[in-house]
Structure formats: C-alpha cells, structure tokens
Amino acid sequence: MSDFIRRLPVYLLLDCSGSMIGEPIEAVRQGVKALLSELKGDPQALETAYLSVITFDSDARQVIPLTELMQFQEPEIKASGATAMGKALNVLIACVNNEVRKSSETQKGDWRPLVFLLTDGAPTDVETFRQAAQNLKNMKAANIVACAAGAQADTSFLKQITENVLMMNTLSAGDMARFFAWVSGSIKMSSKSLDAKPGAAIELPPPPQGFVVVP
C-alpha cells in the first residue's frame, strides 16, 4: 500500500540581487520567518503543504528542497550580484520535474504546485529568461503568482511567466510583511480548498491593501 499522501508543493522564488541589500533583504528574512510561524499553527497546512526556497542573484539555486513544514528550517538569505531570474526559472522547472509526484495507478499524485516569485527588478539573463518562461508556461505544471516589488520591478517580464502578477509599490518592511502574510493566507486557503478538486483552479485571497493586480 502506498504511504504517500497528496502534498501541496509550494515554491518560493526570492530575488536576492544586490539591489535588495539592506532593509529589503532583511524584510524578506522576517517575512519568511513569519510565514513559517503562521503555517506551523495551521493543521491543514502542516498535513499537506511542503515548502521549498529557490534564491537568485548572479546565479540561482534551490537553497531548501521541498520539505515538510514541521522540518523546515529557515534558509540563510544574503543579497548580492545580478538578477538571474531566468536561471531561477530553470531551477524551478528542474525541481518541479524531480520533486512533484505525478499520479499513477498505484500512487497519489501531488496537488498542483503553488509558486510565489518575488523580485524588485528585471532579469539580467534575458535570453535564458525568455526561453525558461516559455518552457514554464508550456508545462502548465504549476499555479504561479509573481510579485513585482518597488519602482524598479518590471512587470512585463513577469507577465511572460504568468497571468497572475501583483505589484507592491515599495520594498518597505511593512509591504513585505503584508506580502508574506498574503502568501501564507494563500497557502492555507489552497490547502483548504484541496478537496475542491485537485488540478482545478485554485482561489487565492484578494491581494493585500496597497497591492495592485497587474492586468
């Protein structure tokens, strides 16, 4: 018999480029901390959600593989370098392919992964990015929300990845906290609406105040 449960994989793609140095990257750290503490109090999220963190600067890597919430340890996040968002998308594609279980005759597949991408800029690896964004869209393997933070963020790139693009005006600690609170609300809501039929559209809570849904 299969001991696998149906997991809700959640990927956080965090921009750790040089422009995030200082208050913004500290706000991201605090945000991840708050997100975890929130989710660890929710029995539905604890039983279903698995979290992974992918960071990108001049390069991209999965700093935390898809991990049980109860075992999740906050990653060390530092800011430096460029914005290799394209590489980050390729890392994401590889992770989804490797980590997310497909349904089979004898195995429960995972729920459709939920991906949150946060950036304050635009990709510096534009060619890689275009290709990766296209591949990701073709895969249709995840529900992706991209958030452009601050005045320098370029939403037109994000639109190449997903229809769901949010914009927050500042990189302030307050806005960042609201963003992560919204992410945790979204994960909770998704883990709740799971029985609403896997694979179907997932409803997320309305974005926090001060955030704009980019049409």
- Contacting positions for another protein (CB under 8 A): 1-3, 5-7, 41-44, 46-48, 62-65, 67-68, 70-71, 73, 75, 102-103, 105-106, 108-112, 140, 143, 145, 163-164, 189, 192-193, 195-207, 213
* Residue 81 C-alpha from the chain's centroid: 21
Tell me whether residue 21 or residue 201 sits nearer to another protein (CB atom).
201
b/e sequence 41-73, b meaning 16+ C-beta within 10 Å: ebebbeebbbbbbbbbbeebebbbebeebeebe
CB of 201 vs another protein, minimal distance in Å: 4
Are 32 and 74 a contacting pair, CB within 8 Å? yes
CB of 126 vs another protein, minimal distance in Å: 25
CB of 28 vs another protein, minimal distance in Å: 16
Tell me whether residue 142 or residue 153 sits nearer to another protein (CB atom).
142
Tell me whether residue 127 or residue 209 sits nearer to another protein (CB atom).
209
CB of 36 vs another protein, minimal distance in Å: 13
CB of 203 vs another protein, minimal distance in Å: 4
- Alpha-carbon span 133 to 157, nearest angstrom: 9
CB of 35 vs another protein, minimal distance in Å: 17
| Cα within 13 Å of Cα(13), Cβ side | 31
| Cα within 13 Å of Cα(29), Cβ side | 12
Alpha-helix runs per DSSP H in 71-172: 85-99, 126-139, 155-158
Tell me whether residue 79 or residue 145 sits nearer to another protein (CB atom).
145
- Alpha-carbon span 124 to 127, nearest angstrom: 9
Tell me whether residue 126 or residue 201 sits nearer to another protein (CB atom).
201
Q: Sheet of 211-214: strands edge to edge?
A: 60-68, 49-56, 8-15, 114-119, 143-149, 165-168, 211-214
Tell me whether residue 47 or residue 154 sits nearer to another protein (CB atom).
47
Q: Is the dihedral of CA 19, 24, 26, 29 positive or negative?
A: negative
